[in-house]
């Protein structure tokens, strides 16, 4: 009787399974994603009406209504002008400090309000979620649209405010206003979706967001110019945070568009990269966890 080792030939199908499984997964995910986007687009009017309804309800008890979307960043900017511009003399680096400050403040407030709306979009609409079947992504989207209304209103009065003070008027760079506004809107939508997804299982983020936004404000070149730090002993880690801050390049493009600061192509490229990455990550994260949100509400 002969004893030997039987050689087992590998089944070629086994080597194809990972690739086949990946291909099958892609074939399933892509149609599902397209159906979701079609459903989302089909309910766009619902998103617009929801945003307008929330906007009216939020300002129904105030005398000035929508003007508060302009007054909030404007009054905050006035405080910073007094504290940092007059008392601490930060304005010495800029002759057009008011224009510089408000152009950054209005742009940052758009992202800030979108992020806050995203945090509250799911948690504050539990009754709506229980009674209607619709893509949940509409809620952070409508919150972002609500913030966009206020941002457009603030841009509409920007030159009305700064022209009598410093004589600032639109120049040729104004053509970049629409592209950077679209880029920031994509960034804000992705950010709103991301924080909405996080806020459902982790409610403590509602208390943490105001502090994160205040830190983000101070790490962005809004109150001070980037050149203001050149002559100061700033820690290397702080400079690094300034360099990777997504608002840094966006504000650079906004200031070229609104007040004629020098244009840097790298700012537009980095803004696009940041907006694309945050948009894809935020939307994908939200949609992937949408089916599990109900258990936390």
Q: Is residue 8 part of a domain?
A: no
Query: What average pLDDT does the chain have?
Result: 80
Question: For residue 5, what pLDDT is reported?
Answer: 45
Question: For residue 178, what pLDDT is reported?
Answer: 96
* Domain enclosing residue 278, as ranges: 46-296
Question: For residue 6, what pLDDT is reported?
Answer: 44
Question: For residue 7, what pLDDT is reported?
Answer: 47
Q: Is residue 245 part of a domain?
A: yes
Question: For residue 120, what pLDDT is reported?
Answer: 86
Query: Which DSSP string corresponds to the chain?
Result: ----PPPPPPPHHHHHHHHHHHHHHHHHHHHHHHHHHHHHHHTHHHHHHHHHHHHHHHTTTSSSGGGHHHHHHHHHHHHHIIIIIIIS-GGGG-TTHHHHHHHHHHHHHHHHHHHHHHHHHTGGGHHHHHH--S-TTHHHHHHHHHHHHHHHHHHHTHHHHHHHHH-----GGGGGHHHHHHHHHHHHHHHHHHHHHHHTT-TTHHHHHHHHHHHHHHHSTTSS-GGGGTTS---HHHHHHHHH-THHHHHHHHHHHHH-PPP-HHHHHHHHHHHHHHHHHHHHHHHHHGGGGGGG-
Question: For residue 74, what pLDDT is reported?
Answer: 80
Question: Which residue numbers in the chain have pLDDT < 70?
Answer: 1-34, 55-66, 90-93, 228-232, 294-297
Q: Is residue 117 part of a domain?
A: yes
Domain count, the chain: 1
């Amino acid at each position: 009787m002969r004893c030997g080792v039987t050689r087992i030939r590998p089944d070629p199908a086994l080597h194809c399974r990972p690739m086949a499984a990946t291909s099958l997964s892609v074939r399933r995910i892509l149609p599902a994603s397209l159906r979701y986007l079609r459903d989302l687009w089909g309910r766009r009017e619902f998103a617009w009406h929801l945003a307008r309804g929330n906007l009216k309800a939020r300002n129904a008890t105030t005398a000035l209504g929508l003007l508060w979307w302009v007054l909030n960043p404007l009054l905050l900017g006035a405080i910073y002008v007094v504290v940092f511009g007059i008392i601490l003399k930060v304005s010495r680096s800029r002759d057009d400090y008011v224009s510089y400050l408000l152009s950054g403040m209005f742009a940052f407030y758009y992202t800030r309000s979108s992020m806050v709306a995203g945090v509250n979009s799911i948690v504050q609409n539990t009754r709506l979620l229980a009674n209607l079947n619709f893509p949940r992504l509409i809620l952070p989207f409508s919150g972002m649209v609500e913030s966009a209304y206020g941002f457009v209103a603030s841009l509409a009065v920007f030159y009305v405010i700064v022209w009598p003070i410093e004589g600032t008027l639109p120049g040729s760079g104004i053509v970049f206003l629409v592209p950077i506004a679209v880029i920031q809107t994509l960034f804000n939508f992705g950010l709103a979706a991301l924080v909405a997804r996080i806020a459902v299982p982790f409610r403590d983020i509602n208390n943490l967001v105001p502090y994160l936004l205040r830190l983000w404000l101070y790490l962005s070149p809004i109150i001070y110019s980037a050149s203001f730090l050149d002559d100061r002993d700033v820690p290397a880690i702080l400079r690094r945070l300034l360099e990777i801050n997504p608002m840094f390049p966006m504000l650079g493009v906004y200031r070229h568009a609104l007040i004629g600061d020098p244009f840097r192509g790298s700012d537009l490229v980095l803004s696009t990269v940041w907006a694309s990455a945050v948009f894809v990550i935020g939307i994908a994260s939200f949609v992937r966890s949408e089916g599990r949100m109900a258990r936390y509400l």
